[in-house]
Amino acid sequence: MSTIPLYYLGPRGTFTQQAANTVVPRLSRVSGHGFDTREASTAIEIFDRVAARDGWGVVAWENNVEGYVVPNLDALLDAAGIAAVERVVVDIAFDAFVLPGHGELTEVTAHPHGLAQCSGFIKGMGVTPRPADSNAAACRDVGTHQIALGPSLCGELYGLQTYRRAVQDFQGAHTDFLVIAPRDDARAYLRAMRGEPGMDDADGYESILGLVPLNTGPGALANLLDVFRDAGLNMTSFISRPIKGQDGTYSFAATIDAAPWKPSFHAVLERVTDADTWAKTLAVYRRPDRPYPPVSAWMLPSGGVKPGNDTSQDKDRELLWQ
Over residues 166-181, mean pLDDT: 94
Predicted confidence at residue 304, as pLDDT, reads: 75
- Burial degree of 266 (CB within 10 A; 0-12, 13-18, 19+): middle
Residue 47 sits in the same domain as residue 191: yes
E strand or H helix that includes residue 72: helix 70-78
Predicted confidence at residue 100, as pLDDT, reads: 95
Predicted confidence at residue 274, as pLDDT, reads: 87
Residue 132 sits in the same domain as residue 250: no
Integer Cα distance of 279 and 260 in angstroms: 12
pLDDT grade for 60, boundaries at 50, 70 and 90: very high
Residue 268 lies in a domain: yes
Q: How many CB atoms lie within 10 A of CB 254?
A: 20
Q: 253-262, pLDDT tens digit by residue?
A: 999 999 999 9
CATH of the domain at 223: 3.30.70.260
Residue 302 lies in a domain: no
Sheet with 146-150: strands ordered across: 128-131, 107-110, 146-150, 95-98, 161-164
Residue 26 sits in the same domain as residue 69: yes
Residue 239 sits in the same domain as residue 288: yes
Residue 135 sits in the same domain as residue 50: no
Residue 77 main-chain phi, psi, to 5 deg: -60, -40
Q: How many structural domains compose the chain?
A: 3
Residue 241: pLDDT over 70: yes
Residue 316: pLDDT over 60: no
Residue 180 sits in the same domain as residue 190: yes
Residue 107 sits in the same domain as residue 228: no
Over residues 237-249, mean pLDDT: 89
Integer Cα distance of 55 and 48 in angstroms: 10
Residue 110 sits in the same domain as residue 147: yes
For 275-317, give the DSSP string. TTEEEEEEEEEEPP--------GGGSPSSS--SS--GGGHHHH
Residue 224 lies in a domain: yes
CATH of the domain at 194: 3.40.190.10
Q: 5-38, pLDDT tens digit by residue?
A: 999 998 999 999 999 999 999 999 999 999 999 9
Residue 226 sits in the same domain as residue 272: yes
CA dihedral 311, 316, 318, 322 (to 10 degrees): -170
pTM, whole model, 2 decimals?
0.86
Residue 104 three-state SS? coil
Residue 61 sits in the same domain as residue 181: yes
Q: To 10 degrees, what angle do helices 70-78 and 43-51 make?
A: 20
Residue in 83, 59, 47 with CA at minimum distance from that of residue 8: 59
Q: Structural domain of residue 105, as residue ranges?
A: 95-164
Residue 321 lies in a domain: no
Residue 46 three-state SS? helix
Over residues 272-293, mean pLDDT: 88
Predicted confidence at residue 299, as pLDDT, reads: 66
Integer Cα distance of 135 and 120 in angstroms: 17
**Which residues, in sequence order, are bridge partners of residue 72?**
none
CA angle 78, 83, 86 (to 5 degrees): 135
Residue 239 main-chain phi, psi, to 5 deg: -115, 135
Residue 320 lies in a domain: no
Cis peptide before 11 (omega within 30 of 0): yes
**Which residues, in sequence order, are bridge partners of residue 74?**
none
